[in-house]
A and B are shown apart, each in its own frame.
Chain A
Amino acid sequence: MKNSVNKKAEHANQIALLIIKAMVGVVVLILMALLGYILITGIPNVSWHFLTSPSKDFGAGGGIVNELFNSVYILIITLVISCPLALGAGIYLAEFAKPSFLTNTMRTTIEVLSSLPSIVIGLFGYLVLVIKFQFDFSIISGAFALMFVNIPLLTRNTEESLKAVSHSQREAGWALGLSKWRTILKIILPAAVPGLVTGIILSAGRIFGEAAALIFTAGQSTPVISYANWNPFSSTSFLNPMRPTETLAVHIWKLNTDGITPDATQISSGASAVLIIVILSIILLSRFLGNYLYKKMSGTK
């Protein structure tokens, strides 16, 4: 009797496991197919020339150097703006906020903001930043729009990383005579660094691939820029934050909607491959760095 019950349970176990494995298989297969398609069709179009020459409006043989640089530049500016804000908000939520109507509202707002479609953020950015504040289509407008994409993710990440630091660490700080603020700054934040870094890098991956929020804020074209002009106030400088800019992701979108160069398809697939490779490297970097820092902080290394 007992034996048959055991057998039945074992059967059910095996069937459940099989179904779960099949589901995982389907998911992995879809993702691998997508990734494989992008890489296989894209990589043959990637060459040194492709990576180092500017794009062309007409005629074949354009590259993506400006788009690649723009993506990195706008990413850096976005992180510079959003990291301190998200850090502050995350510290408040994790360490100071008492459960109240206000903090609940804050959390809900952050959740809503994090699930907002990025095209909505883009249009909002267009109305507020481009029109109202007269930033025009510029790197700055784009960076602020991306800030809205980024802040909810980073705030959540900060809050969770800080909360994951054991309460006993806080007590250790207080018992040594450190003020609450000093305990956070000198003990909790350093201990949370692995989680914080992982979160920032992952959000960087998300930003790097963002297109919809940028189309109406950063613009869809890049003026002629010079990489020799280091004066950020000069209109031809590559560093000028007020110039319109086209990022890699926007470039891909543009090529596929109104690209008129004969090799638009090839450039688009090459650019997609580059985009995916960069994002993959960002994710791998965050894994590696997060693990490394965690080991360093937890003394297992």
Chain B
Amino acid sequence: MTTNETVITTKDVRLYYGEHEALHGINLDFQKSQITALIGPSGCGKSTYLRCLNRMNDLIHDVTITGSFKIDGHDIYRPQQDVVSLRKKVGMVFQQPNPFPFSVYDNVAYGLRVQGIKDKKIISQKVEESLKQAAVWDEVKDDLTKNALSFSGGQQQRICIARLLAVKPDVILLDEPTSALDPISSAKIEEMLLQIKDQYTIIIVTHSMQQASRISDKTAFMLNGDLVEYGDTKKIFLNPEQEATSDYLNGKFG
């Protein structure tokens, strides 16, 4: 495998809810064209860490974050960082599919319109492109004016991914994107992620070890707010260095 450029560098990430320290100094780097999986038992801080990368934690009351976060060499927590442009660059997919209560077309076009694109031709071209990329085009192409909420959960989730892809992010954060979906829908999303990964830096939080082993290039195992082990997925799954990692992977706890 060729070495990929490092897009995201984080050092000594600590996060506090009030006085309570929830992340105890995490160092993680992420490379372009790779899928990195964050695994670990519930409450270990993997979602919390993920949400630092697009500053979603800013919106939570009484949260303090320290450490360094660099995306393409820029500190994303520097005072002059525009959060809005950061979130355009670093998109996020959530556990529960959350399409807006509008038509499929309007959902995907939303981010484009927010960016000020008015040309209808460009918008509809990008909508089609994104829905194709998100592998949901064939299922919705005849119902683009239908309310996005009337589709199945799996379709909704892929519509949300299309909505995200339309604004051309560099980084895609996925917070347990398939845990509310059936296996077939999950498989479709996994396949789709593998197809698009060349163009993006993808970080996925997942509770499914199988999912992590199937799609990720690298895996980070977290436990109680600490990063226990980080490395190539094959190595982590076949030959983990830490006992805690192997215990978790073998289902001894979690």
A residues at B contact (CB < 8 Å) = 98, 166, 168-169, 171-180, 182, 187, 190-191, 296-301
Residues of A within 8 Å of B86, CB to CB, are 177
Q: How far is the CA of A297 from the CA of B167 in the complex (A)?
A: 24
Residues of A within 8 Å of B147, CB to CB, are 296-299, 301
B101 lies within 8 A of A176 (CB): no
Known: A168-B94, A298-B147, A299-B148. Contact between A175 and B87, CB under 8 A?
A: yes
Residues of A within 8 Å of B164, CB to CB, are 175-176
B residues at A contact (CB < 8 Å) = 54, 56, 59, 61, 84-88, 91-92, 94, 96, 98-102, 110-111, 114, 146-151, 160, 163-164, 167
Q: Which residue of A lies closest to B110 (CB)?
A: A176
Residues of B within 8 Å of A190, CB to CB, are 101-102
Q: How far is the CA of A262 from the CA of B194 in the complex (A)?
A: 87
Known: A174-B87, A177-B88, A187-B100. Contact between A299 and B114, CB under 8 A?
A: no
Cross-chain contact of A172 among B98, B146, B150 (Cβ < 8 A): B98
A178 lies within 8 A of B61 (CB): no
Residues of B within 8 Å of A180, CB to CB, are 59
Known: A190-B101, A191-B101, A299-B146. Contact between A175 and B96, CB under 8 A?
A: no
A98 lies within 8 A of B87 (CB): no
Residues of B within 8 Å of A98, CB to CB, are 61
B56 lies within 8 A of A176 (CB): no
Smallest CB–CB gap between A232 and chain B, Å?
Answer: 39
Q: Which residue of A lies closest to B54 (CB)?
A: A175
Smallest CB–CB gap between B92 and chain A, Å?
Answer: 4
Q: Which residue of B lies closest to A99 (CB)?
A: B61
Residues of B within 8 Å of A301, CB to CB, are 147
Known: A174-B59, A177-B87. Contact between A168 and B111, CB under 8 A?
A: no
Q: Which residue of A lies closest to B173 (CB)?
A: A175
A299 lies within 8 A of B111 (CB): no
**Contacts A/B (CB < 8 Å), 29 sampled:** A169-B100, A169-B101, A171-B92, A172-B94, A172-B98, A172-B99, A172-B100, A173-B100, A174-B59, A174-B87, A175-B54, A175-B91, A176-B88, A176-B111, A176-B164, A176-B167, A177-B85, A177-B86, A177-B88, A177-B114, A182-B114, A190-B102, A191-B100, A296-B147, A297-B101, A297-B147, A299-B146, A299-B150, A299-B151
B56 lies within 8 A of A175 (CB): yes
Q: How far is the CA of A180 from the CA of B91 in the complex (A)?
A: 16
Which 5 A-B pairs give the minimum distances between C-beta atoms? A299-B147, A299-B150, A299-B149, A168-B98, A177-B87
Smallest CB–CB gap between B206 and chain A, Å?
Answer: 18
Q: How far is the CA of A168 from the CA of B148 in the complex (A)?
A: 15
Residues of B within 8 Å of A176, CB to CB, are 87-88, 91, 110-111, 114, 163-164, 167
Q: How far is the CA of A166 from the CA of B98 in the complex (A)?
A: 9
Cross-chain contact of B94 among A171, A178, A299, A300 (Cβ < 8 A): A171
Residues of A within 8 Å of B167, CB to CB, are 176-177
Q: How far is the CA of A169 from the CA of B163 in the complex (A)?
A: 13
Smallest CB–CB gap between A93 and chain B, Å?
Answer: 16
Q: Which residue of B lies closest to A176 (CB)?
A: B111
Q: How far is the CA of A169 from the CA of B156 in the complex (A)?
A: 13
B98 lies within 8 A of A171 (CB): yes
Q: How far is the CA of A175 from the CA of B94 in the complex (A)?
A: 9
Residues of B within 8 Å of A166, CB to CB, are 98
Q: How far is the CA of A144 from the CA of B148 in the complex (A)?
A: 42
Question: Given A171-B98, A173-B100, A174-B56, 12 more contacts at CB 8 Å?
Answer: A168-B96, A172-B100, A175-B164, A176-B88, A176-B114, A176-B164, A177-B84, A177-B86, A180-B59, A191-B100, A296-B147, A298-B149
Known: A177-B88, A296-B147. Contact between A171 and B56, CB under 8 A?
A: yes
Q: How far is the CA of A300 from the CA of B149 in the complex (A)?
A: 8
Which of B54, B98, B164 has the most chain A CB within a 10 Å cutoff? Answer: B98
Q: Which residue of B lies closest to A168 (CB)?
A: B98
A178 lies within 8 A of B98 (CB): no
B160 lies within 8 A of A172 (CB): yes
Smallest CB–CB gap between B181 and chain A, Å?
Answer: 15
Residues of B within 8 Å of A169, CB to CB, are 98, 100-101
Smallest CB–CB gap between B151 and chain A, Å?
Answer: 8
